[in-house]
Amino acid sequence: MSAFMSAFASLVGAFADLLHPFFQSASTAAAIVLFTALVRLAVHPLSRAAARGQKARTKLQPQIAELRKKHGKNPERMQKALMELHKEEKVSPLSGCLPSLLQMPAFFLLYHLFSSQKIGNDPNELLGHQLFGAPLGERWRDALTDGGMFGAQGAVYLGLFALVAVVATFNYRRTKRQMAANPVTPTAGPDGQPVPGMGAMTKLMPLMSFFTLFTVAFVPLAAALYVVTSTTWTAVERACLYRDMPAAGAAMATAA
């Protein structure tokens, strides 16, 4: 693990050296943004495939409703019929999960890298790198004790919070518009029956983006930069990929 972390630290350092002529003291922060963009770019084909799959699953809802009428009293037969329908239409029920799952290792790598005092047997020099005076290895609570909310470090976090709030508001309004234009119908589970609590979850879904504020507040600044960059990318990507999808399908895509 230490060898792997050393290699990852070297990669971040190489990106920072590449960007230093343009961003000077903020080059490591810029390197994290670049790394995040490269991760999202690598995962984008899967996101496109997930969007196609979600749209296909949404189009299958009338057929699923028919199967529910036909096999509603036989869950095993219903599940088998659903599997056959998905196989026939070449639709994977799990395709929407892959982009999110494949991004998690990158986030945890950054979190671990900027939470470790040492890399191997050497001090972690990346912890001292800064973004406008805020060390990348520190958290919001550290900024509050060093200058307060409106100090130099606190202002960096206020900027990140503002960006997250803008993105979350964009997601919220877009989802609400979709829901108003296309009322949400109950979502069926593997047995074709409505999933308990899914209606309430779908209503809560537009607010999920605001929970990112808590993540940004409690992780190291480097990891917060990853989260903010990835969240912004996700908002733009989904607005493009799911722009013609009904509210129910778009809400489920957001959940994935």
pLDDT one-digit tens code per residue, 11-68 = 999 999 999 999 999 999 999 999 999 999 998 988 888 777 777 766 767 777 777 7
Note the pLDDT tens digit of each residue in 191-208.
445 555 545 555 666 677
In the chain, where are the structural domains located?
2-255
3-state secondary structure the chain: CHHHHHHHHHHHHHHHHHHHHHHHHHHHHHHHHHHHHHHHHHHHHHHHHHHHHHHHHHHCHHHHHHHHHHHCCCHHHHHHHHHHHHHHCCCCCCHHHHHHHHHHHHHHHHHHHCCCCEECCEECHHHHCEECCEECCCCHHHHHHCCCCCCHHHHHHHHHHHHHHHHHHHHHHHHHHHHHHCCCCCCECCCCCECCCHHHHHHHHHHHHHHHHHHHHHCCHHHHHHHHHHHHHHHHHHHHHCCCCCHHHHHHHHHC
| Mean pLDDT value across the chain | 80
Residue 252 has pLDDT above 60, yes or no: no
Query: Model pTM?
Result: 0.78
